[in-house]
Amino acid sequence: MMNYNAALESALAQFGAASLEQIRKYSGYPVADNRIEVDFLGYKSEVEHPSGRFSPEPTPEGDLPVFARILILHYLSRSGPVQEQGRLISYKEIPGGSIYIQPFSNRAIRPLVQAFGERPQALSEVGLRLGGRVAAHGDAAVTIPVFPHIPVTLVIWGGDDEFPPNGNILFDASAARILPAEDYAVMAGFVAATLQKMSKGG
Cis peptide before 95 (omega within 30 of 0): no
In a domain, 82, yes or no: no
pLDDT in tens, 7-48: 999 999 999 999 999 999 999 999 999 999 999 998 999 999
Predicted confidence at residue 1, as pLDDT, reads 44
Residues 72 and 98 in one domain: no
Residue 55 in this model has a pLDDT that exceeds 70? yes
Task: Output the average pLDDT for the chain.
Answer: 93
Q: Are residues 113 and 193 in the same domain?
A: yes
DSSP 111-161: HHHHHHTT-HHHHHHHHHHTT-EE-SSSSEEEEEEEETTEEEEEEEE---S
Domain of 181, in residue numbers: 88-199
* pLDDT at residue 58 greater than cutoff 80: no
Q: For 74, phi and psi rounded to 5 degrees?
A: -60, -45
Query: Does residue 177 sit within a domain?
Result: yes
Same domain for 179 and 97, yes or no, is yes
Question: Can you tell me the mean pLDDT for 132-139?
Answer: 96
Q: How many domains does the chain have?
A: 2
Confidence grade of residue 186 (pLDDT, cut at 50, 70, 90):
very high
Residues 58, 95, single domain; the answer is no
What confidence tens digit (pLDDT) does each residue in 96-134 have? 999 999 999 999 999 999 999 999 999 999 999 999 999
Predicted local confidence at residue 2, as pLDDT: 61
Residue 41 · residue 190 · CB < 8 Å: yes
Q: Assess whether pLDDT exceeds 90 at residue 91.
A: yes
Give the Å distances, CA to CA, from 116 to 32, 44, 110, 140: 39, 26, 10, 9
Exposure of 77 in the CB half-sphere (CA atoms within 13 A): 20
- Which whole number is the average pLDDT over 185-192? 95
112 and 189 assigned to the same domain: yes
pLDDT of residue 185: 95
**pLDDT average, residue stretch 173-184:** 94
**Residue 148 to residue 72: CA distance in whole angstroms:** 11
pTM, two decimal places: 0.92
Identify the pLDDT of residue 60. Answer: 61
pLDDT-based confidence at 202, cuts 50/70/90?
low
| H helix or E strand, kind and range, residue 104 | helix 101-104
